[in-house]
Structure 1
Amino acid sequence: MTRSFHQFSCEDALLAGTLDQGTKPIGLLIVSGGNEVKAGAHAGMARLANHIADQGFPVFRYDRRGIGDSSGINQGFLESCADIAAATEYFRTLHPGLTKIVAFGNCDAATALALFNHRIAVDQLILANPWVIEDNGGSAESPAAPPPSAIRSRYWARLKNPQSIIDLITGKIDLRKLAKGLRQATQKQDNKGLAIRLSESLARLKKPTQILLASRDTTARAFVAAWESKDFAGARSSSHIVIEKLDSASHSFADETSRRWLENHLLEALKNA
């Protein structure tokens, strides 16, 4: 595997990208989630790219504007369409033999790919744990509370664990926190603007799309609650979308089992593209 480093233009900024060379005509574009750099948390995306390229598929990663080695202002994932489009175009320039590009994103990168899919020249989408939680004033120091659906799912999982009953009886569980959590869990949940936008984009999708979910991850649980609501009826009826679930709480597929599951799904998509 040969890895090379590049710079390319996106509007008035200069973005940093990394190409893991491959000989096959199908390529993987990795879009980073959150404010992560192209290497990913603990270099997870760099390792993923290395593994995929070892199977012959070229992989391109990049830092969006204002992140990592890229210039410009970070305006968040909802303003990242131009970044994804520029990275896709540059990937094709670097590897002119490409016939198809599969785009992969986790969390809000998955949501961005879905929202902007009609404006970016990719052929297939792999969306992991799409982000549907509306920003309600949370911050890194005091994050926004997860939606009631995610809280209910978490408590249900704990109730099925005998150890939780023992912890309750022996006083290891904070009853005040438990009461607060139960109050939040019983609140009504309505899909907000972001979830509605995502539902409409998914319903209009015409590209083969896999949605990969770590079923015990809070973000994935929130997505499942939205997906099962009436607002996503059009998306659920789409013949272009397939959902796959893994019994894991790892949002970034960091443990060995989750990592291999993700790698296998990506490789299968690339081989069948």
Structure 2
Amino acid sequence: MKERYISIASGNVTLSAILHTPAKDNATDTHDTGVLIIVGGPQYRVGSHRQFVKLSRFLAMHHIPSMRLDSSGMGDSSGKRVAFYQQDTDIEAAITSFLQHCPQLSNVVLWGLCDAASAILLQLNQHDPRISGAILLNPLVRQQHNHATVMLKHYYLKRLFNRQFWRKMLGGDLLLRLSISELWLAFKQRNAKQAPDTQLLMTNERNYVPLMLHGWQQFNGHVLVITSGNDLTAQEFLQLCTSDSAWGNCLQSAQQQHIAPANHTFASKEWRTQVEQYSADFVLHKAK
């Protein structure tokens, strides 16, 4: 396995990435599909608990090239940090660089966790033929009413059956009173749906969820969705797929894996290994 630093020009900024390729003597076994790992949230290309590093090394062991990218303003990349729904220029530049450095590749699979998974679905609106697949882990679909429903069902309801909760309430705990206020606000917000603002030219925090759906609907490639059982972000996504038939149809058409005990970042060795194996199997199956 070989690892090397790559510098990528993206508009007026320079992006940093690490390219992982299989050992030279196994070059003939290298697949024609690579994995571009998109990083979301306030982190860089290493990932929480070195998740992305370990994933890339696992893929290389299975003869799958991969690239870990720092988006603008993150890690070693220059420029101002951009929101996840504004990563299209960085992703396009990374795909171009990836294929240039690995000429044996004919296409890429985009891999992302949380808002990086959201960025990937938004990227699919670009109709890029170089993207043959997407691996989405706990996609972020934060909407006020949907978030309120999930909080009521998976957070506040559990607290009502917690002995510590009632002990604090009877003791007049200030933080508890604030929590109850949040509960009432969540209850009011649950039915306060807002019309999606999809007419704006620029993707923003108000219209990114319907645009994610549009990208998924028009994509002709393969999709793998991996969700955690112990994660509110995943529950919001699954709730949306249950309540909205269009989202539900997209999920049904995808390959699905659910790791019931896992948290948001698949923080244990067991959960991480499952994610790595699911990801490699998906790419290897596509390459046949």
Assess same fold via TM > 0.5.
yes
Q: TM-score range by the shorter chain?
A: 0.7 to 0.9
What residue is the counterpart of 1:167 in the other structure?
A: 164
The equivalences for 1:1-273 within 5 A come to: 1-22=1-22, 23=27, 24-25=30-31, 26-119=33-126, 120=128, 121-134=130-143, 147-155=147-155, 158=158, 164-168=161-165, 170-171=167-168, 175-177=176-178, 179-187=180-188, 188-189=190-191, 190=193, 192=196, 193-230=207-244, 233-238=245-250, 240-273=253-286
Q: Which range moves more in the overlay, 31-40 or 113-122? A: 113-122
* 1:109, distance to aligned residue in structure 2 (A): 0.8
Q: Which range moves more in the overlay, 243-252 or 92-101? A: 243-252
* 1:50, distance to aligned residue in structure 2 (A): 1.2
Say which SS state the counterpart of residue 139 (structure 2) adopts.
coil
Say which SS state the counterpart of residue 228 (structure 1) adopts.
helix
Q: Which range moves more in the overlay, 104-113 or 149-158? A: 149-158
State the distance in 1 between where 2:163 and 2:152 align. Answer: 20
Say which SS state the counterpart of residue 147 (structure 1) adopts.
helix
* 1:90, distance to aligned residue in structure 2 (A): 0.8
* 1:244, distance to aligned residue in structure 2 (A): 2.5
Per residue, is there more helix in 1 or in 2? 2
Q: Which runs of 4+ in 1 moved over 4 A?
A: 168-175
Per-residue CA deviation, residues 205-253 of structure 1 (Å, 9 max, x unaligned), is 22211121112211111112222223xx223224642332221352111
State the distance in 2 between where 1:197 and 1:4 align. Answer: 35
Figure out how many residues of one structure are paired with residues of the other and give that number.
Answer: 259
Q: Which range moves more in the overlay, 37-46 or 198-207? A: 198-207
Asked if 1 retains the 8 angstrom alpha-carbon contact of 2:44 and 2:74, the reply is yes
Q: TM-score, normalising length from structure 1? A: 0.84
Q: Give me the CA root mean square deviation.
A: 2.6
Give unpaired runs (5+ residues) of structure 1. Answer: 137-144
Per-residue CA deviation, residues 47-97 of structure 1 (Å, 9 max, x unaligned), is 221122122111111111111111122221111101111111111111111
Give unpaired runs (5+ residues) of structure 2. Answer: 197-206
